[in-house]
Amino acid sequence: MSRSGLVDLNAGELAQDFVKFSLDAGVLRFGEFQTKAGRLSPYFFNAGLFDDGAKLGRLAQFYARRLQQAQASGELQFDMLFGPAYKGIVLAAAVAVELARLGINVPYAYNRKEAKDHGEGGTLVGAPVRGRVLIIDDVISAGTSVRESIAMIEAAGGTPSAVVIALDRQEKATDQGRDAPWSAVQFVQQKLGLPVTAIATLSDLLQVLQSTDSPALAAHTERVRSYRERYGV
> Catalytic positions, please?
116, 118
CB 111 within 8 A of CB 125: yes
CA distance 197 to 14: 13
CA distance 131 to 144: 22
Dihedral pair phi/psi, residue 198, rounded to 5°:
-120, 150
Which segments of 106-148 are extended strands (E)?
108-116, 122-126, 132-136
Residue pair 199/166 in contact (Cβ under 8 Å)? The answer is: yes
